A and B are shown apart, each in its own frame.
Chain A
Amino acid sequence: MRNLIRLAFLCLVFIGVQPALADELDKAAGTWSISSSSKIRFSVAQVGGGGIAGTFSSFSGKFRIDKDVTRSGVTFQLKAASVEAGDARITAFIRSDAVFDAERNPVISFKSTRVTRTGDNEAKIEGQLTARGITRTVAFQATFDGQSGNQIRFRVTGKMSRALFGMEIGTPIYSNSVVFDMEMKGVRG
């Protein structure tokens, strides 16, 4: 009996929530441009604690949200030379041929190939990331972070191997994993 009540309650909640989610998705559907006010942060941990943290200041991209989430997609480009990592020598090092080789490979780009819904507000975005002239399949996790007026926000996180892109310099002092933590803001159009 108690289980039945619980089930009935769950059904009510579900019926109540589902249209709300559908509404959110309806509102979000369409094409968005990635705003320059987005924050692209990354970090690489180092042995003994701490690590290197950096940001990119020059990037652009577009994403499309479809009511059928699996048909959504994103393209994103960033300028490798726009990386900043606090210390001038570290920044120069990351721009150099030791890491990004920004002179020969000025653009780091991402193009999604598959979007899967993983929760009420979450989706997994798989795609092709090209950096240092090497293209690999990587995955990011996107969490819907609200929409107001003409702006939509997502928190996008991901973790990938530097070695996959020929950037394993410094391992094992520095972790082979680079962690991305990004605040993506989209504006209509």
Chain B
Amino acid sequence: MQWRNSPRAWGLVTVGFHWVMAILFLGQFALGWYMQGVKSLMDQFTLYQLHKSFGFLILGLAILRLVWALTSTKPDLPDGMEPTERALAKATHWILYALLLAVPMTGWAVVSMSPLMIPSFVFNLFVMPHLPLGISLSGEQAASSLHAFLAYVAAFLAGVHILAALRHHFHHRDGILIRMLRPGHDGRREG
């Protein structure tokens, strides 16, 4: 099994990061959206704490993933891609990386500034300290709006990213999607 990336293929680490974080992000987005409308305050409290725990998990993984991405080789894009298309793909990927950090960071800012002062007890394992931002209701509200806005931007870009991958697979019939599904595979299709 190929762990590291090569000029032709993604390694297991990158593929693993990609899909684990894709599932975590989509689940976290759905949870964040759903929990706000929950009627029972008891259930809502529990769901918010779960959302915080997953947020810190995503932040931790995002940092590791960014370090991995910055220190790894990247396989080449398909030959036929236009320069603008390449630039757009690259920009989308880096913005998604940035959002994987920024969305949890703004969430962390929300809990850090909230006058509720609820500790972040990550998966009931350890206490994540609050960011030293000071307690402020207006600060909490501003961070909360920004958190939601960035989450929607991330979800939108993830949608664009998925559609682009499907377009490459079904329209251009290149190996972009296959490479991300099969570690070490160069994406070439038989026949």
Contacts and interface: CB of A to CB of B under 8 A. Distances in A.
A57 interface: no
A46 B42 CA distance: 17
Contacts of B84: none
Interface stretch (B85-93, B114-122, B160-168): B114-122
Given A98-B41, A98-B45, 12 more contacts: A46-B118, A87-B115, A87-B116, A90-B116, A97-B40, A97-B42, A98-B40, A169-B45, A172-B124, A173-B49, A173-B118, A173-B121
Interface residues of A, number: 15
A90 B118 CA distance: 10
B23 interface: no
Contact of B119 (A87, A89, A173): A173
Contacts, number: 35
B127 interface: yes
Interface in A113-129: none
B116 A96 contact: no
B117 A50 contact: yes
Contacts of A46: 118-119
Contacts of B121: 47-48, 172-173
Interface of A: 46-48, 50, 87, 89-90, 93, 96-98, 169-170, 172-173
A46 B130 CA distance: 14
Contacts of A169: 42, 45-46
A93 B117 contact: no
Contact of B41 (A47, A48, A87, A97): A97
A54 to B, nearest CB: 14
Given A47-B127, A98-B40, A172-B124, A93 B119 contact: no
Interface of B: 40-42, 45-46, 49, 115-119, 121, 124, 127, 129
Contacts of B117: 50
Contacts of A173: 49, 118-119, 121, 124
B45 A170 contact: yes
A169 B117 CA distance: 16
Scoring B46, B49, B121 by chain A CB atoms within 10 A of each residue's CB, the highest score goes to B121
Given A87-B115, A97-B40, A170-B45, A48 B124 contact: no
5 contacts: A87-B115, A93-B45, A97-B41, A98-B40, A172-B124
B118 A93 contact: no
Given A172-B124, A173-B49, A48 B119 contact: yes
A103 to B, nearest CB: 13
Scoring A48, A87, A169 by chain B CB atoms within 10 A of each residue's CB, the highest score goes to A48
B42 to A, nearest CB: 4
A98 B41 CA distance: 6
B127 A48 contact: yes
8 closest cross-chain pairs (CB), A and B: A98-B42, A48-B127, A98-B41, A173-B121, A96-B41, A48-B119, A169-B42, A47-B119
Contacts of B127: 47-48
B41 A93 contact: yes
A24 B49 CA distance: 53
B150 to A, nearest CB: 24
